[in-house]
Structure 1
Amino acid sequence: MNINKKRLGIVGVVSIIFVLLISVFIFTFTQMGPYDKNNKEGIVVEIPQGSTTNTISDILYKNKLIKNKVVFKLSVKLSNKAQQFKAGKYLFNQTYSNKEIINDMSLGKVYNDGIKVTIPEGSTSREIVSILVDKKLGNEDNYEELISNPKEFYNDFKFLKEDDITSLEGFLYPSTYYIDENASEKEVLSTMLSKFNKIYTDELRDRQKELKMTTEQVINLASIVEKEAILDVDRPKIASVFYNRLKIGMPLQSDATIQYIFNERKQIVTYDDLKIDSPYNSYKNKGLPPTPISSPGIESIKATLYPEKTDYLYFVAKMDGGNNYSTNYEDHLKYVKEYKDERDRLNKSKNN
């Protein structure tokens, strides 16, 4: 009898523990689910840079997006995605489960509000200002004044303090932005400078130091590479040509720097244009121009920091978008003739 009672007691205790475990499981499972599966009204939350799981759970709980902070933190731990969380604004609603919220934050599915502005690679500051003004994001004169006065941004962007940076030209990184309609001109430009500062990583800065170059020199040369190249594969080769010319004191002779002189891009650079008296005329002046001539993308920046090792001094376009390269002027003239003959042949066939 005593043995049976003990057995019954053990069975009873096990049953209670089992029921408790099931209850805990059901409770936890339900707490991981949507706050309100019928409410699809959007809720925008902002996760600050460097937020801990505790901070994130507080924000989500305050906005009624999670039912239980402890359970949410458990969900994060089980997902092993805490290190992947990205700061920014997120658009959620109360139908989101813990898992869906965690996935969105780990993938960085940030909510982009504001006016969408796309700055193409190779844009000049004039073109950037035109895009912004067309979007009704500020005044042209205010932008031009700020762009010519980097000191206005010294507090937030220390790299601008380098002695040879006299303009923001080249440092307004080309990308797609979502800008608040009430943002000031300085705030808009700061957004682009922040993007550049993020893209221009410590690894790239270390490489710059290895080359014994300033940031301005890198971006200046990269801006020319950006305007001269069509295919990414050509960028490191084009950079090598310009490095080789600089090394021997040869003018860069880039049509892109000539184009920068004009308010609007010309269809073709003429021989008379090459005679223009301007510090941006790289046919008449040796070395780099006074400032960058465009905002280069990351591929042109990398190509400038990691150029191919070549002996090339010349390059000329091919009809397929690439280039022919040569080490001497005689071969260069042959490639120029090939290009002109091919261009004329194609134009003739189109007209027939």
Structure 2
Amino acid sequence: MLKKIKKLRWILVGLAILISISGFLLGTVAYDLAQPVSTIIANPIIVTVKPGMSARDIGDMLYAKGLIKNVFLFRVVARIEGMENSLQAAEYAFTPNMSVQRMVKMLATGEISYRQFTIPEGYTINQIATLLEEKQLADAVKFKELAKDLAPYEYIQHRPELAFRVEGFAFPDTYKVKQGITEEQLLRMMVYQFNEQFTQAMRDKAAQMGLSIYEVIILASLVEKEAQVEADRPIIAGVFLKRLKMHMPLQSCATIQYILGYPKPELTIEDTQLPSPYNTYLHMGLPPGPIANPGIAAIQAVLNPTQTDYLYFVADSSGRHHFSKTYTEHLAAISRVSN
């Protein structure tokens, strides 16, 4: 009888140990499954939750996008948090380094996503409109219609030659916007950003140079489109300012490309004779308006130009410019970069 009791005791001890180990292993597995898929911060993944989708439907979608490790655990967390039936239809931005609990709370509170997009430096209004339409944030036609006349600040001039009054003032930057933003809100946001970035110190510097804000942005747009290497920007700005002072035509190839509507690698003599007020080969002084939306570096180059004796420049195949003081030197430089 004593032997049976001892045997039973050992069986019970074994079962207790087994239960403890199983509980530990199950707890470890559950803990692991509740952890983020990745610890690396990555770009957000947009998830659209449609009306009528169940917690299981949403879990399946999150699992398919690599955002959670286990659908069942997602449903368990939603139930524990009391949110299984309150997951709201909307568009969300999740990242693989988010915990399951964080995702559930975002879904339950309707913490909708923000769409992020970047306007590259030197983009024109036409290019910005196309980019926004491709990202399904705006109708390109509506955006361009608004850009024709929008002028919330007095320094944005109105001239009959301009296709878009805000050309030059839609500031290149990375923006985060809510879904459903309108074309006008998008455009105003970019113009307001320009007004913030063009500081009082920059306005004071422009005034000291005898330039209006509008003239600074026209010059900056030329520098933006001409310069491909950062170090060339202030030198090109210096050349343009020197030419203006000497009453020489700017002869900017970028203005011809603006007239053409596309970047042509090599211009012909015929191209430089195109009838347009933007043609700086035919007309003295600045073109009637900016030819692109310049970034802050191009604007700073105009406000802080290199004092130079150069009057000419030509780019080589790498995009770096070669500067010359005389037309004879310029022709030699053209010959060198062409070979």
- The bucket for the TM-score relative to the shorter chain is 0.5 to 0.7
CA contact (8 A) 1:315 1:323 kept: yes
CA distance in 1, matches of 2:128, 2:158: 24
- The count of residues paired between Structure 1 and Structure 2 equals 235
TM-score under structure 1 normalisation?
Answer: 0.61
SS of the residue corresponding to residue 116 of structure 1 reads strand
Indicate which of 295, 306, 309 corresponds to 1:308: 306
Show the counterpart of 1:264.
262
Shift of 1:323: 1.6
Q: How many Å separate the matches in 1 of 2:139 and 2:318?
A: 40
Change in Cα spacing, 1:244 to 1:122, as seen in structure 2 (3 Å) is same
Counterpart residue type for residue 272 of structure 2 = L
Query: Residue 235 of structure 2 is aligned with which of 234, 237, 242?
Result: 237
Distance 1:227 1:161, change over 3 A: closer
> Are 1:286 and 2:284 matched, yes or no?
yes
1:132 paired residue number: 132
Which residue in the other structure is 1:189 paired with? 187
The 5 Å alignment of 1:112-191 reads: 113-151=113-151, 154=152, 158-160=153-155, 167-191=165-189
Q: What SS does structure 2 have at the residue aligned with 1:230?
A: coil
Q: Secondary structure at the match of 1:237?
A: helix
* Partner Cα distance (1:318, 1:266) in 2: 15
Aligned-pair CA distance for 1:321: 2.9
Give the C-alpha shift of residue 288 in structure 1.
0.9
Distance 2:297 2:115 in 1: 27
Give 1:272 shift. Answer: 1.4
SS of aligned partner of 1:325? strand
Amino acid at match of 2:305: P
Aligned to 2:84: none
1:194 Cα deviation after fit: 2.0
Secondary structure in 2 matching 1:178: strand
1:268 counterpart SS class: coil
Identify the match of residue 219 of structure 2 among 218, 221, 226. 221
Q: Is the CA contact (8 Å cut-off) linking 2:249 and 2:285 kept in structure 1?
A: yes
Q: Cα distance, 1:318 vs. partner?
A: 3.0
Amino acid at match of 1:143: F
Equivalents in 2 of 1:189, 1:161: separation in Å? 14
C-alpha separation between the residues in 2 aligned to 1:278 and 1:200?
Answer: 29
Q: Does the aligned pair in 2 maintain the 1:274–1:281 contact within 8 Å?
A: yes
Q: Aligned ranges for residues 96-107 of structure 1 at < 5 Å? A: none
- Take 2:239 and 2:208, find their aligned partners in 1: how far apart are those partners? 19
Which residue of 2 is the match for residue 297 of structure 1?
295
> Does the 8 A contact of 1:172 with 1:193 survive in 2?
yes
Deviation of residue 230 (structure 1)? 1.1
Letter in 1 for 2:265: Q
SS of residue paired to 1:316: strand
Aligned-residue RMSD, C-alpha? 2.8
Whichever residue aligns with residue 129 of structure 1, its letter is A
User: 1:331 & 1:219 partners in 2: Cα distance?
Assistant: 30
- C-alpha distance in 1 between matches for 2:113 and 2:191: 19
Structure 1: how far apart are the matches of 2:112 and 2:301?
Answer: 31
Structure 2 distance, partners of 1:291, 1:162, is 9
Structure 2 match to 1:4: none
Distance 2:222 2:146 in 1: 23
Give 1:246 shift.
0.8
| 2:196 counterpart residue number | 198
Structure 1 runs not aligned, ≥5 long: 1-37, 41-91, 97-110, 342-352
Q: CA deviation at 1:159?
A: 4.5
Give the CA deviation at 1:163: 6.4
Query: Is the CA contact (8 Å cut-off) linking 2:221 and 2:292 kept in structure 1?
Result: yes
- Cα separation, 1, equivalents of 2:197 and 2:324: 33
CA contact (8 A) 1:122 1:227 kept: yes
> How far apart are 1:259 and its partner, in Å?
0.6
- 2: distance between equivalents of 1:130 and 1:185? 12
Residue 181 of structure 1: how far off its partner (Å): 2.3
User: What is the SS of the residue equivalent to 1:137?
Assistant: coil
The DSSP-based 3-state class of the residue aligned with 2:308 is coil
Structure 2 counterpart of 1:302, which letter? Q
> How many Å separate the matches in 1 of 2:269 and 2:223?
22
Give the drift of 1:112. 10
Equivalent residue number for residue 16 of structure 1: none
Whole-angstrom distance in 1 between the partners of 2:265 and 2:326: 28
User: Which SS does the other structure have where 1:336 is aligned?
Assistant: helix
| TM-aligned CA distance change 1:132 to 1:160, over 3 Å | farther
> Deviation digits for residues 123-177 of structure 1, max 9, x if unmatched?
01110011011122222222122211134xx2xxx34455679710011111111
Q: CA deviation at 1:205?
A: 0.8
Structure 1 pair 161/118, CA: closer, same or farther in 2 (3 Å)?
closer
